[in-house]
Chains A and B, each alone.
Chain A
Amino acid sequence: MKKHRALIPLDGSSFSAQVLPAVCRLLDPSHYHLTLVRVAPPPADLSPQPTPPRPVSVDGWMSVAEEYDSSWARELAQHPVYASQIWESVRHELADELSDELKSLKDAGFDVSLAVHFGDPAEELIRAANSDAFDLVVMATHGRSGLQRALMGSVAEKLMRRASVPVMMLRPVDKAVAAT
């Protein structure tokens, strides 16, 4: 039988990690493949693609030179390899931070994989959830109400409104954990 795939977003906080005991309790390791996903803001000022140079015209002449938007863009165009390496190293760093969780879930008998995405957390998670690769998303929510909820506009809520797969919501059980 094909295993179900569950997406578990973790943002590195103990708040998000408190879903793990519940996952072990509620999901059957023999039927679930878990994907731990970390969404981080893209490394500052670095795009994975070098910016193309734009032609510059001087006083009616056709393009005589190519300029970059910044010295950094020129640097990047000349050394695209380094830029992608920085992305890779950040990716690996973030993945390493998930290694404790990875190990505890593997010990519980789950197949686990890791993924790191760069971008806005809600958007990236919705994209991942709607990619047809997952059957379930598991995440913690603060369970706020009213004005507080409107202000916080939590990732969990956006996901709940827009994900095309079922979303398992866990509320913090322990106030002390929720506060951290």
Chain B
Amino acid sequence: MNARVLSILIPMSRESVDREALVSARKLFTPSQTILTLLRVTPRNEPEAPSAEKLENWNELMRTLAKHPDPAHHPVYGHRLWSAFKRELTVKLEPDLQALRDSSFAVSLALRYGNPAEEIVRHAEAAGSDLIVMSTHARRGVGRVLEGSVAETVLRRAPVPVIMVRQIAKERRS
């Protein structure tokens, strides 16, 4: 029974909040039977790598630049900016990764671009996760509509069970 390894997805987009989910997952599951995937979703579009022919055509280059004022989409510098950005995203999670590895969990890191809730669900489907662990603010009214929507959307659409970790309660208890 339960010889198989569980693959658990933990969205880590808002560090301080999502760390609660990490703490819970660590407490509730056995390291030797668990693979944790920390998923970072960034709400920007994934940039294309600059193609050689695009760079050769100066007019094309200028047109692209005019169309995308976002420096991340600059055909030349954009790519470099993005590598730096990716690095920055993963660097923030480095201490968590290390801590998890130290307690002998198998951990991997994933990066996705787009709408957070959708990408979390999509990743769970694509990676064949068994479980999602998410933090949620227990807010009411407007705050609930704005903030809780990611967790709620994931809960409604996820193909797998979702563990909701409420943050306020944790603060009260400690």
Contact = CB atoms under 8 A, between A and B. Distances in A.
Interface in B89-138: 130-131, 133, 136, 138
Contact of A109 (B1, B138, B169): B1
Contacts of A28: 2, 29-30, 33
Contacts of A24: 1-2
A167 B164 contact: yes
Query: Which secondary structure dominates chain A's binding surface?
Result: loop
Interface in A136-180: 136, 141, 143-145, 160-171
Chain B contact-residue range equals 20 to 34
B28 interface: yes
A171 B161 CA distance: 7
Chain A contact-residue range equals 20 to 34
B72 interface: no
B158 interface: yes
A160 B151 CA distance: 11
A145 B28 CA distance: 29
24 contacts: A25-B2, A26-B130, A27-B2, A136-B28, A136-B163, A141-B155, A143-B155, A160-B164, A160-B166, A163-B166, A164-B172, A166-B24, A166-B133, A166-B163, A167-B163, A168-B161, A168-B163, A168-B164, A169-B161, A169-B162, A169-B164, A170-B161, A171-B156, A171-B158
Given A135-B27, A170-B161, 18 more contacts: A24-B1, A28-B2, A28-B29, A29-B1, A160-B164, A161-B138, A164-B172, A166-B24, A166-B133, A166-B163, A166-B164, A166-B166, A167-B166, A168-B131, A169-B155, A169-B161, A169-B164, A171-B158
